[in-house]
Amino acid sequence: MAEADTRPPVPRTATGWEAGWTSRCAVKLGKILNVKYLLVGTFGKLMDQYVLNFRMVETETAKVVYSDDARELSTQREVSKSIGTMVDRLVRAAVKK
């Protein structure tokens, strides 16, 4: 985890991957933060459904080593539960390696 005062500022115009961020951007940010992996993703609402996804990117190679998503979530409670489930799956996948 990076200290708050050592993190680079996030561009105010950027909204994440929709703004053109790529795995190469994760490599650059990973080098700045001095981390091996970076977890990136999106969260949004389409009509009346929430959608979220994330990817774990290896910052040395830009390789996506894990990804997950959840769709058709109607309530904030479902979103919260899905985040927990997604994190559990990520941890289980990491332990297997």
Residue 79: the pLDDT is: 92
Q: Is the pLDDT of residue 15 over 50?
A: no
The residue-averaged pLDDT of 26-46 equals 87
SS (H, E, C) the chain: CCCHHHCCCCCCCCCCHHHCCCHHHHHHHHHHHCCCEEEEEEEEEECCEEEEEEEEEECCCCCEEEEEEEEEECCHHHHHHHHHHHHHHHHHHHHHC
Output the average pLDDT for the chain: 79
Residue 89: the pLDDT is: 92
Query: Does 75 or 11 have the greater pLDDT score?
Result: 75
Give the domain ranges of the chain.
17-96
Q: Is the pLDDT of residue 85 over 90?
A: yes
Residue 77: the pLDDT is: 92
Q: What is the pTM of this model?
A: 0.67
